[in-house]
Chain A
Amino acid sequence: MTNIENPKVKIKARNMTVHYGDAQALHGIDLDLNANEVTALIGPSGCGKSTFLRCINRMNDVIDGCRVGGSLSIDEQDVYDAAVDVVELRARVGMVFQKPNPFPKSIYDNVAYGPRIHGMAQDRASLDALVERSLKRAGLWQEVKDRLSASGTSLSGGQQQRLCIARAIAVNPDIVLMDEPCSALDPIATAVIEELMEELRRDYTIVIVTHSMQQAARISQRTAYFHLGDLVEHGQTETIFTTPQHQQTEAYISGKIG
């Protein structure tokens, strides 16, 4: 168990700004995210939480007219340094999206895709082992081991999302980003994923954007509240949800007209 009092800082953002064209989406975010913790980013739509999440693996790069300022480092290395290969970065920082988005390929190929393009497995046997390990870690192995060649899209929503998690962790990342991973799932599938996250955080640093306050409260160790592109409050999840220091946070989490 990680020491909550003295955690290691994994991701360090300093004065992060993001512009989409003329619109500023983030106004100088300073935020430290700890290793082996689940950090929940909450806030109303358009508050910049997803934008911040996408800064961590530079997914904003592919958006036309997006400019990122400030610095963001992972293990003290600046992610936006010119020497950083964005492909390598995205292998180190896995991502799970809002809508389960398996490739329209077999379950096996979905998981094996990342390792294949990164040349992580030398032969078929080691690739098989990697796929099995990833599916096991994502808690999906028992359900799909007899139909690995079935299409990934034939699975249920919750299974698809776990397949996406398996796909993300197959390339052996340090950090897993989750952008509202349960928003399209039913409560049971959501619970399975939440249980999985608790399990995964032993090996990975997890950053999750969620609109469900209860989910943030249940699964995260720390919570950051964003509002209109500013980081309003960041702290231990228990504190944020019982005695938030900021009125905006209070209003948001208790569903008041802020």
Chain B
Amino acid sequence: MTDKIDIRSANPLAAQAYQARLKKRYRAERRFRAYGLAAIMTAGMILLFLLNAIIFASLPAFSHHYMRLDVEISTDYVSAQTPQEGNYLGLVRAALREQFPDVTARRDKRALYKILSLGAADGLQKRVMAAPDLVGTRVSLDVPLSDDIDLMLKGLIDRSLPQSDRIVSDRDLVWVDKLLAEDRITRKFAFALFTNGDSREPEMAGIRGALVGSLWTLLVTLIVSFPLGVLAAIYLEEVAPKNRATALIEVNINNLAAVPSIVYGLLGLAVFINFFHLPRSAPLVGGLVLALMTLPRIIIPTRAAFAAIPPSIREAALGVGASRTQVIMHHVLPLAMPGILTGTIIGLAQAAGETAPLLMIGMMAFIVDVPGDVTAKATVLPAQIYMWANNPERAFVARTSAGIVVLLTLLLVVNAAAIYFRRRFEKRW
């Protein structure tokens, strides 16, 4: 037997060496903790910087400049009997001309019209359609200015630059300054961002079409992948014998989770569209493709959740004479539910952020209408963001960031739901 070393030994050498080792160990532990803290801080800073940049860049998109106009709803342009056929843009333009009586030349007028948005008359049309008796009266309303003027007013176009270097002409500046002086221009929340579908005009382009498209797509994904995934996981984990065949299936499922998502898009194109002739660009097909992609991402955590249920619970149920199905349905599944839901929601969140597979099935498309069902043509949030990012108009820069903010918010909501369900279903044993 070796002699025990007494740490308080009278031998000063041993004590010193011991103290030195102790100090070294403490230093190592402090260092280790510092590394971890530094890693967290770095990650946090990057995230914060990113979020900050996106949110800051998106801010201009949430507001827009409007101009107050007094419009004479003259029967020359609109009739009370058929309000849907009226020339509302003409009405608005006439009202604008009233503001600038000195603009008479045809070319000048056309230039003047450009300070208004192409959608300037949409609000008026809606009002008149709702109340046709407005025809013949004079109403005051705020009409949106064009994106360039709006940007200039937000200070994003430098008016001190020479005219050749900026989109807004000197004449535009004069007109806008006159309106400003008359206090006709106001800045308001841009509801259009949330109520409109896509548009070529930045000030009229909204996220709603893509958001609804995303929701339809995710609904299809959820309905298809959740039951399929959970049933597959139950079979693999609880019922199937552990043999070569199930091992092979397991390996393949794990591999599927790692398959590049564009491959699923190709599969969807070949199977759902070319073979089954399902409608192109529809949330139905998008949802099916994403469901395929999400399946392994549900099966894997679900199996893990099943495997984490203590065998004692199964034994207890078997011991009182529960059948295999009863054991699963009464005990294992409810206990695994939090894990299953977490896996599902994370899978869905990933699906919500996918663009590549949807590229192949035509969901990366310019679609103005808000989809009404799963077979209508639609696009999804990430695709919308990508398309906006590619548009040349400067106002789409802020729109793109705003789209990202909406997408992030959606994911945040989904993850919050995951936490909520987890808490709700979680039980201790």
Contact = CB atoms under 8 A, between A and B. Distances in A.
Contacts of B317: 103, 113
Interface in A114-138: 114, 117-118
Contact of B319 (A64, A95, A99): A95
Interface in B118-141: none
B162 interface: no
B319 A90 contact: yes
B424 to A, nearest CB: 14
Interface stretch (B43-51, B175-183, B321-329): B321-329
A80 interface: no
B242 interface: yes
13 contacts: A62-B314, A64-B242, A87-B321, A94-B320, A97-B316, A101-B312, A101-B313, A103-B316, A103-B317, A113-B320, A114-B321, A151-B428, A168-B319
Given A104-B427, A104-B428, A104-B429, A97 B315 contact: yes
Interface of A: 57, 59, 62, 64, 87-91, 94-97, 99, 101-104, 113-114, 117-118, 151, 153, 164, 167-168, 170-171
Interface of B: 241-242, 310, 312-323, 326, 330-331, 335, 427-429
Contacts of B315: 59, 95, 97, 101
A87 B312 contact: no
Contacts of A90: 318-321
Contacts of A94: 319-320
B323 A102 contact: no
Given A103-B331, A104-B428, A153-B429, A118 B312 contact: no
Contacts, number: 69
Given A96-B319, A104-B429, A168-B319, 9 more contacts: A59-B319, A62-B314, A97-B319, A104-B313, A114-B320, A117-B326, A153-B428, A153-B429, A167-B320
A171 B335 contact: no
A254 B316 CA distance: 34
B164 to A, nearest CB: 75
Q: Which 8 pairs across A and B sit closest by C-beta, in order of nearness?
A: A101-B312, A91-B321, A114-B320, A95-B319, A90-B321, A104-B427, A101-B316, A104-B429
Contacts of A57: 319
Nearest to A110: B316
Given A64-B241, A97-B312, A171 B429 contact: no
A32 to B, nearest CB: 24
Q: Which of B312, B317, B320, B335 has the most CB of A within 10 A?
A: B320
Contacts of B319: 57, 59, 90, 94-97, 168
